[in-house]
Chain A
Amino acid sequence: MGSLTASAQAAEVSVAVASNFTAPMQKIAAAFEQDTGYKAVLAFGSTGKFYAQIRNGAPFQIMLSADDETPARLEREGFGVSGTRFTYAIGRLVLWSRQPGAVDDKGEVLSRGRFERIALADPKLSPYGAAAVEVLKGLDLMSALAPRIVQGENIAQTYQFVATGNAELGFVALSQVFADGKLTQGSAWTVPASLHTPIRQDAVVLGAGKANAAALALMAYLRNDKARTIIRSFGYNH
């Protein structure tokens, strides 16, 4: 009985997933289970919240962060297993509106468009928010647009503000509005990667996953061609 429970546990890996990676990770987890027989149990949320939970004993075995800083910090503080960190995806930022034709493919709507509100993720909390601020500053539009900015606490909420039309446009993750190689709805400007620091999203094995075969298998799986194809199909670079 005891060994049964132990093997059932070993066949599972519990993963903390940054909310921008929700859609691709669901697909990858399904493929992972089919190909390896291991099951990935996913929890979605903001990187900052996961960090606090992991430091306070949350039983996650892998963290797929929205940035590269948090996994490095976890490793420094002894919560992450050293030598396991790698960049699983590079996020792309997109200026998006649910209205077709509202956003042109050069982003000129930012300087010329008539809109009441523009949403972005809190730059203190989200690398996508920080990248959005970097873009606006680089285009010298930050002070002009500041009164119209509303902030979501994470990229999922930022998407929600734009998707419900409460903000006419907003900076979200390309993965949220992109599937199977095309835009799912509305209009968008994919921000050139040269306009902001790359959004490196790193994965790390946590202390609880150190000796877990399923955790190590998932880390390897994330690097294989099948997973990479899925990741790219949602608009991430890899």
Chain B
Amino acid sequence: MLPGNEAIEAIILTVKLATLTTLVLLLIATPIAWWLSVTASRWRAPISALVTLPLVLPPSVLGFYLLVAMGPDGPLGRLTLALGWGTLSFTFIGLLIGSIIFSLPFAVQPIQHAFEAIGPRPMEVAATLRAQPLDAFFNVALPLARPGLVTAAILSFAHTVGEFGVVLMIGGNIPGKTRVVSTQIYGHVEAMEYAQAHWLAGGMVLLSFAVLLALSLMKRRLGRVLP
């Protein structure tokens, strides 16, 4: 059986979620990664641990806490209710927030490692040439960290596509809003519709392989650009 409209809807939603997650993550993760790579603050270790936490927490834990936090008694839920936005669970925005948290370490770590690999020297040189710090950051550090940014973007995208537990916990399985490919596959398997499950699951395996292959090829090419 060929994949139908439901599958296409789920694929479009998944790509939309992964794209937005990646864009937001690049914006958030870059300053965090920069700060982690240069600071000597005593807050560095705890913040670093906090950023890495989603990597080790089971998605069921993350999803459950997100559900509670977004609920009417949770801190996030109280805030959004007070602002007149309703609660975020079972909405696309809620899913986006969950995905950003879930993939945060996958964006921060490659960028941070790239900044650390550059070392303080290029920025010091820029400073002696009278570049303002912000100017130096955008014109020296960021271009040099490009391989890290590319890795972060690809990993964030791929990790969001592969996200399952968090979506299951806070999504509510609404077609076109919160039913992504991974939960759709799960639904097919549970409903014993193995043919449809195979189509989507097989596609997912191929896509994931392609992403990782592209990543490793790109890394080799970009790697040569670095000093």
Chain B CB within 8 A of A122 CB: yes
Contact B187 A150 (CB under 8 A): no
Chain B CB within 8 A of A12 CB: no
Contact A164 B189 (CB under 8 A): no
Shortest Cβ-Cβ A-B pairs, 4 listed: A150-B172, A48-B190, A151-B173, A166-B89
* In the bound complex, CA of A153 to CA of B174 (Å): 11
Stretch of B9-17, B64-72, B114-122, B136-144 at the chain-chain interface: B64-72
Contact A164 B190 (CB under 8 A): no
Contact A119 B172 (CB under 8 A): yes
Chain B CB within 8 A of A125 CB: yes
- CB within 8 Å of A: which of B15-70? 67-68, 70
| B residues at A contact (CB < 8 Å) | 67-68, 70-73, 77, 86-87, 89-90, 168-170, 172-174, 183, 186-187, 189-192
Contact A151 B174 (CB under 8 A): yes
Contact A124 B67 (CB under 8 A): no
Chain B CB within 8 A of A138 CB: no
| A residues at B contact (CB < 8 Å) | 46, 48-49, 51-52, 116-117, 119, 122, 124-125, 149-153, 157, 160-161, 164-167
13 contacts between A and B (CB under 8 A): A48-B190, A49-B189, A49-B190, A52-B192, A116-B87, A117-B172, A119-B172, A122-B187, A151-B173, A151-B174, A152-B172, A161-B172, A164-B68
A150-B173 contact, Cβ under 8 Å, with A48-B191, A166-B87: yes
* In the bound complex, CA of A167 to CA of B171 (Å): 12
Q: How far is the CB of A142 from chain B (nearest CB, A)?
A: 15
A151 CB contacts on chain B under 8 angstroms = 172-174
* In the bound complex, CA of A124 to CA of B71 (Å): 26
Contact B187 A116 (CB under 8 A): no
Contact A122 B71 (CB under 8 A): no
- Residue of B at shortest CB range from A49? B190
Contact A164 B71 (CB under 8 A): yes
* In the bound complex, CA of A124 to CA of B191 (Å): 6
B174 CB contacts on chain A under 8 angstroms = 149-151
Contact A165 B72 (CB under 8 A): yes
